[in-house]
Chain A
Amino acid sequence: MRCLVIEDDPVIAGHIVGGLGAAGIEATWAANAAQGLARGREGAFDSVVLDRLLPDGNGIDLLRTWRRHGPVPPVLMLSALGSVKDRIDGLESGADDYLAKPFHMAELVARLNAIARRAPLREGGDVAVRAVGRLRLDPSRHAACFGAASVELNRKLYSLLAHLMLHADRLVTRDMLLEHVWGYSFSPGTNIVESNMSRLRTRLQDLGIDPILTRRGEGYVLLAGACR
């Protein structure tokens, strides 16, 4: 995967480029909006990390200009402005995800992977993945099925499993789950994800599988290999 990083702060940019490299993502750095736009239009990138505030303009305007001239790869907007309203503005301007500074590198990589993967599905609209290996979802009964066995889930656990299955084999962070499964725009300082995840894990163990891997301090991965 190739990623364009448009960020004016050299320390943060170096940190991002290095972190993406370590995660196997080839990153190119642009230090301002003009450079970012030029690089973006000449090179074929799979994703963009875009700082909202740049010395020669802001990320939202850059995105608008870029979009007028052609297709834009999935964009993760970075900002020191972390309020819900700033976030809504960023997403409405066409960014695919929004991450407030300070952030963890793992969070950035996970989100970038998620939006880059989502890209080809965007046109289709239906992003639901119904099966990973022998693990299937049955939307009519809100149930998870593994082979002949099945277990019913409440709405939250069902959505949680569906989201993990959509991103099978990729890291999904706690904040990503709060945003996408729960739709919370605030950070509940509580173990909502942990407690619900442990419930889901227990349910899946009833089916005889345990495919959810916890990466301490980072997030969760649903291992497709464990669902065979």
Chain B
Amino acid sequence: MEQAARWPGAGRIFFLFGGVFALAMVLMGSVVFVVVERTVAMRIDADLLHHEGKFLRVPSGRAATSDEVAARIRDWQARKITSERTYSLFAPDGRLVAGRLYLRPQPGLSDVMFLGGGRTWQRGRALAERLRDGSLFVIVQHSETAASLRALLLPLVLATFVAALAAGLGATWLFAHLTARRLAATGATADAIAEAGDLSRRVPMHGLDGMFARQAESLNRMLDRMESLVETQRHFASALAHDLRTPLTRLSTLLTPDITGDEERLRHAIEAGMRECGGIIAIFDALLRLAEIEGGRHGGAMVDLSLDAVVEDVAETMEPVIADAGGTLLRGPMQSAAIHGDPGLITQLLVNLLQNVATHTPAGTCARLSLTRQADDVVLVLADNGPGLPHADRARVLRPFERGAGAADRRGSGLGLSIAQAIVRFHRGRIDLVDTGPGLEVRITFPAVVVV
């Protein structure tokens, strides 16, 4: 328990998650950086174009002459003391006509360096346009806000990256830790079962929800099934041993030395001995048959067969058997119905069921076989008005070597209904025992086949 509860480490998945998260953070930081840069640059360019329009067009829409532009620059200089923009106009011969900054970039938008206030080099964005008379109009923008934003951006992105990475790794670690803690309970249960073979253990469900609860549930369902299988096996072995003890004990009692000499008694003893041997062989035959059917190795072929014909055929055979046991077998209603099945197995199924009526119901019992189509199913019902089966016995008698509590004698192999159930399962059908008070109803449902 202590070992299982210990933090087992998240393993490679932790580092993998951390790595992927860090990479995602780097990518995100880069995207933010680039987007901000581009947005600022586009803003500046849009500004430049807007202001160029204001200087190069007169209100009527006509292009301004170089004299008009020069006049506007001087007018603007007179009004503005400080600005992030400066305007210049150069004559075609390169002379500075208006403005203060002597900077002549190529026409169009470009990045430039200039001496701000004649002392420090500053970065700026320039827009130059040649007028019709060959003069060059230049706007240079040095945005303080853009520069400080740029200066701020890199550390900001870096700091965000580091913080997010730490938080992400922390979250991953926490997630891994919580996952491991939930899995530890499952592991502890599995270890306990592996070490002590204790199949009654179950994964504790408290504190689990979502996918962990679902996983624990399915594991517990698997354990339920395994426990019942192991239980069946255990029970099977002891029941088989018990069932063989009875005829073997009788046989050994028969083979006492004092039967020699008397011809009549000897013959009688041999006959009785043969009967006991026959009974033991029958148990093994039935066991082999059960194993064959459950393993799908029964040797028959699956065909589309008309179930009503098989039922009629077996009923005809079994009617004298039931009559000899003091009962009555009736038929009907019988609808014609086809299933996909092995005729030999279906015959055995019906023989086994009718044999139970003959063996385990008192004289005077009336049984009725009927066959009906219900939606996509074929339903075969064998109902009798015998004493029926207590509720507790109904699931039990389908298991090997189990007999109803009322079955005082232990005739038969004790495998008849197990074989019947195996045959029904092999045909993807369902067998239900229903108490009809008084009486028992065996209801078998097969998927129907439409024969064209």
Q: A residues bordering B, Cβ < 8 Å?
A: 82-85, 87-88, 102, 154-156, 182-192, 194-196, 198-199, 216-217
Whether B321 pairs with A191 at a CB distance below 8 angstroms is: yes
Whether A190 pairs with B320 at a CB distance below 8 angstroms is: no
Besides A83-B299, A192-B321, 6 other A-B contacts (C-beta < 8 A): A83-B297, A156-B316, A182-B317, A184-B344, A189-B413, A190-B321
CA distance A190 to B271 in the complex (A): 18
Q: Within the complex, which residue of A84, A194, A195 is in contact with B344, where a contact is CB–CB below 8 Å?
A: A84
Could you say which residues of chain A place their CB within 8 Å of the CB of B347?
184
B180 at the interface (CB under 8 A from A): no
- Number of residue pairs A-B, CB distance < 8 angstroms: 76
Also in contact, A186 and B316, with CB within 8 A (given A83-B292, A85-B292): no
For B419, the closest partner residue in chain A by CB is A186
CA distance A196 to B316 in the complex (A): 10
A59 CB → nearest B CB, Å: 18
For the complex of A and B, 5 pairs with smallest distance between CB atoms: A85-B299, A195-B320, A84-B299, A195-B321, A190-B355
Could you say which residues of chain A place their CB within 8 Å of the CB of B416?
189
B300 at the interface (CB under 8 A from A): yes
Could you say which residues of chain B place their CB within 8 Å of the CB of A189?
282, 286, 355, 412-413, 416
CA distance A120 to B314 in the complex (A): 33
CA distance A13 to B380 in the complex (A): 48
Could you say which residues of chain A place their CB within 8 Å of the CB of B321?
190-192, 195-196
For B284, the closest partner residue in chain A by CB is A82
Also in contact, A185 and B299, with CB within 8 A (given A82-B285, A84-B344, A85-B292): yes
B348 at the interface (CB under 8 A from A): yes
CA distance A185 to B292 in the complex (A): 13
Could you say which residues of chain A place their CB within 8 Å of the CB of B176?
none
B396 CB → nearest A CB, Å: 20
A196 CB → nearest B CB, Å: 5
Whether B351 pairs with A87 at a CB distance below 8 angstroms is: no
Could you say which residues of chain A place their CB within 8 Å of the CB of B193?
none
For B271, the closest partner residue in chain A by CB is A217
Also in contact, A102 and B281, with CB within 8 A (given A182-B317, A185-B299, A188-B355): yes
Could you tell me the dominant secondary structure of chain B's interface residues?
A: helix
Whether B317 pairs with A191 at a CB distance below 8 angstroms is: no
Could you say which residues of chain B place their CB within 8 Å of the CB of A88?
299
Q: Within the complex, which residue of A83, A155, A198 is in contact with B324, where a contact is CB–CB below 8 Å?
A: A198
Whether B351 pairs with A84 at a CB distance below 8 angstroms is: no
CA distance A216 to B274 in the complex (A): 12
Whether B348 pairs with A188 at a CB distance below 8 angstroms is: yes
CA distance A164 to B270 in the complex (A): 28
Could you say which residues of chain B place their CB within 8 Å of the CB of A155?
313, 316
Whether B292 pairs with A84 at a CB distance below 8 angstroms is: yes
Also in contact, A82 and B355, with CB within 8 A (given A155-B316, A156-B316, A198-B324): no
B288 at the interface (CB under 8 A from A): yes
Residue with the greatest number of chain B CB neighbours at <10 A, chosen from A186, A192, A198, A217: A186
Could you say which residues of chain A place their CB within 8 Å of the CB of B355?
188-190
Could you say which residues of chain A place their CB within 8 Å of the CB of B317?
156, 182, 192, 196
A78 CB → nearest B CB, Å: 16
Q: Within the complex, which residue of B271, B299, B313, B352 is in contact with A87, where a contact is CB–CB below 8 Å?
A: B299
Would you list which residues of chain B between 243 and 299 have a CB under 8 Å from chain A? 271, 274, 281-282, 285-286, 288-289, 292, 297-299
B32 CB → nearest A CB, Å: 74
CA distance A156 to B298 in the complex (A): 25
Could you say which residues of chain A place their CB within 8 Å of the CB of B289?
84, 186
A118 CB → nearest B CB, Å: 23
B13 CB → nearest A CB, Å: 50
For B318, the closest partner residue in chain A by CB is A192
Could you say which residues of chain B place their CB within 8 Å of the CB of A188?
348, 351-352, 355
Would you list which residues of chain B between 325 and 362 have a CB under 8 Å from chain A? 344, 347-348, 351-352, 355, 358-359
B323 at the interface (CB under 8 A from A): yes
CA distance A3 to B306 in the complex (A): 43
Whether B298 pairs with A198 at a CB distance below 8 angstroms is: no
